[in-house]
Amino acid sequence: MTETKFPIHILKIFIRTLGSELGRDTLRAVFEKAGLPPDWVEPAQLANMNDRQAGQTYAQLQSVMRTYYGRGARGILMRIGGKLWDSLLAEASFGVRAQSKLIRTLPASIRIKPSLEMLANILKTESGDVSLHTLDLDLLFVDRISPTTFEQKESAPICYVTQGLIRECLYWATGKEFDVEETSCRSMNEKECEFKIITGAKA
């Protein structure tokens, strides 16, 4: 089984976004319920964490939030994923920022694929972790690591943050909203997490 990893700098941005969205007191409660040090609400406290530990922490936080918020967790986590996108771009490497500027010079109708390829590049820790594939008129965003699913066993897909990221990435690129469905999830004992992006009618 592929080792679960997650870029530590993205975890820090995720925690900061959680704090802005939930409030610091609620975020501390989430950390405590996850069995994590409450002082980790300060991203600076994560300086010694590696990508493997970041992946586990990312999964634990989302697991607790799904329990804490019940049916409302999906909407909250998707919204957080959407807010995460702008911060990821703002704090990305020089190469990614240059790529984002180039994408915005393209006609809107052909920005979809390069913007999703850029998102895949941001999320991966190693080559091949995250990729994009053409599926007839639509696209398939594939996450082979999917740290959200670490030690999670569910009967339905749970990668709401990634789903929100994909939707916001596409809105940033085109100004349009797209249907994004997680059709396969590692938490359901699938090999990888797959997100189908319906583009045929809107591209």
pLDDT of residue 89: 93
For residue 187, count CB atoms less than 10 angstroms from its CB and return exposed for 0-12, middle for 13-18, buried for 19 or more.
buried
Residue-wise pLDDT tens digits, 100-138: 999 999 998 899 999 999 999 999 988 889 999 998 889
| CATH assignment of 8-198, among 1.10.150.120, 3.90.1520.10, 3.20.20.80, 2.170.150.20 | 3.90.1520.10
The span from the CA of 33 to the CA of 184, in Å, is 28
- Report d(CA 51, CA 137) in Å as an integer: 35
The whole-number pLDDT of residue 200 equals: 64
Q: Read off the pLDDT of residues 21-70 as tens digits, 9 standing for 90 and up.
A: 999 899 999 999 999 998 899 888 888 899 999 999 999 999 999 999 99
CA angle 101, 160, 95 (to 5 degrees): 20
Q: Beta partners for 180? A: 197
Count CA atoms within 13 Å of residue 58 on its CB side. 32
Q: What is the average per-residue pLDDT within 1-22?
A: 88
Distance in angstroms (rounded) separating the CA atoms of residues 84 and 35: 24
Give Dmax over CA atoms of the chain in angstroms.
48
Percent of the chain with pLDDT over 90: 83
Query: Is the pLDDT reported for residue 1 higher than 60?
Result: no
The CA-atom distances, in angstroms, between 128 and each of 117, 140, 158 are 12, 14, 22
The mean per-residue pLDDT over the stretch 130-154 comes to 93
Q: Sorting pLDDT into bands at 50, 70 and 90, what band is 156?
A: very high
What's the pLDDT at 2? 59
- pTM, to two decimals: 0.93
- Per-residue pLDDT of 177-197, as tens digits, reads 999 999 999 999 999 999 999
